Amino acid sequence: MSLQIQANVSLKPFNTFGVDVSARWFAEAHTDAHIREALAYAKERDVKLLVIGGGSNLLLTRDVEALVLRMASRGIRIIHEDCSTAVIEAEAGEPWHPFVQEMLARGLSGLENLSLIPGTVGAAPMQNIGAYGVELKDVFDSLIALDRQTGQTQVFSLADCAFGYRDSVFKHQTGRWLILRVRFRLSYAAELHLDYGPVRQRLLEQGIKEPTPIHVSRAICAIRSEKLPDPAVLGNAGSFFKNPLVPAELAARIREAHPGVVAFPQADGQVKLAAGWLIEQAGWKGLRDGDAGVHDLQSLVLVNYGGASGGDLLNLAKRIQADVRERFGVSLEMEPNLY
């Protein structure tokens, strides 16, 4: 079946903030052929192509005068397997959390700390998603991407992706690479990561002394559900700001004035500060301005109470940035992509 392109489609169902803007054209790609059709359509009409996944890392501030292509390809397959590890390939349109649960059900570990992160498999490498001491790069094998300039596909190794903190080569070459499939190297022998955040404590409270990857996943799902609002109930994109990396001297000055600052020394001598702590100390937690607000349980999360526009949310974010910069001398970087 050829690509089905619709005109003037509301994107409210396709972004987790629930912002109601319109796409001039909209289509869903279920196959590589659909993607190539979309590229040809955009080129012939000289219009931009905006590729989205689950819309969980996106803030739409205006109507989109482009062809919006939602990645909807599905499929999971084993590329290589032995007694201890397996390389699993997943299509870009696979929803992330169900994919994690499928791997755990197959007895494969490595993804459990990344449970309940919204979005799709194809979007995960874009910002090197991470949670509770694990990043995507830790379980990454390779990926296949389409070069939108040449129409050729290319395999990216771990080194090729240049993964950093919520960063990758794909964020710096916006509009060039379209991720088709991602491969993960997972293990049948669990190496659990329990020392970041309250994971170990939660397991002990549950009386679990010898946890399995499934136990870890369930604990993290519970913790995230308590701290983060469900986008299906309250529009949000998860953590809105990155935890800033600052020079040790600045971190020391902040600690002197605020002994309770949450800070994590890094191997390169910098210090990672908890953005949520900075925002909460500045008094923004739970603040609401119209239908745009800061979540009352997690100050890293901006929320849409129903009628906020992307502009409303962006203005709130900029006010928070300016206040934190003035109070602490720290610049906060937004995580979602802006359009």
**What CATH number is attached to the domain comprising 49?**
3.30.43.10
Of the residues 166, 183, 202, 218, only one is catalytic, namely 166
* Domain range enclosing 279: 235-330
User: 68: which strand partners?
Assistant: 26, 50
- Given 227, 245, 271, the domain boundary residue is 227
224 phi, psi to nearest 5 deg: -65, -40
Q: Are 142 and 210 contained in the same domain?
A: yes
Q: Is the domain of 64 the same as that of 184? A: no
pLDDT at 175: 86
CA 279 and chain centroid, separation: 20
Q: Is residue 179 located within the same domain as residue 119? A: yes
Q: Are residue 221 and residue 93 in the same domain, yes or no?
A: yes
User: Do 242 and 313 belong to one domain?
Assistant: yes
Residues 137 and 62 in one domain: no
AA identity, residue 98: P
Q: The domain spanning residue 218 has which CATH number?
A: 3.30.465.10
pLDDT of residue 197: 77
Phi (first) and psi of residue 277, to 5 degrees? -65, -45
Give yes or no: residues 67 and 87 share one domain. no
Residue 312 lies in a domain: yes
User: Is the same domain home to 94 and 222?
Assistant: yes
Query: Among 177, 209, 227, where does a domain finish?
Result: 227
The reported pTM is: 0.91
**Cβ proximity of 80 and 87 under 8 Å:** yes
Q: Given 115, 239, 299, 309, which residue is catalytic?
A: 239
Note whether 80 and 218 are same-domain residues: yes
Q: Is residue 335 part of a domain?
A: no
Pairing assessment for the beta strands 48-52 and 76-81 based on DSSP bridges: unpaired
- Is residue 110 in a domain? yes
Answer whether residue 326 is part of any domain. yes
Q: Is residue 337, in this structure, part of any structural domain at all?
A: no
Domain-embedded: residue 338: no
- Per the annotation, the verdict on 166 as an active-site residue is yes
The answer on 218 and 89 residing in a single domain is yes
Domain count, the chain: 3
CA atoms within 13 A on the CB side of 287: 15
Dihedral of the alpha carbons of 128, 132, 138, 144, in degrees to the nearest 10: -30
Q: Which amino acid is at 186?
A: L
In a domain, 221, yes or no: yes
Give average pLDDT by consecutive 10-residue segment, the chain, 339 residues.
Answer: 95 98 98 97 95 95 98 98 97 98 98 96 96 96 96 97 95 92 97 91 94 97 92 94 96 96 94 97 97 96 97 98 98 95
User: Does residue 80 share a domain with residue 67?
Assistant: no
- Residue 101 domain flag: yes
Boundary (domain end) residue, out of 196, 227, 258: 227
Same domain, 155 and 62: no
Query: Residue 40 has which token pair?
Result: 């040809």
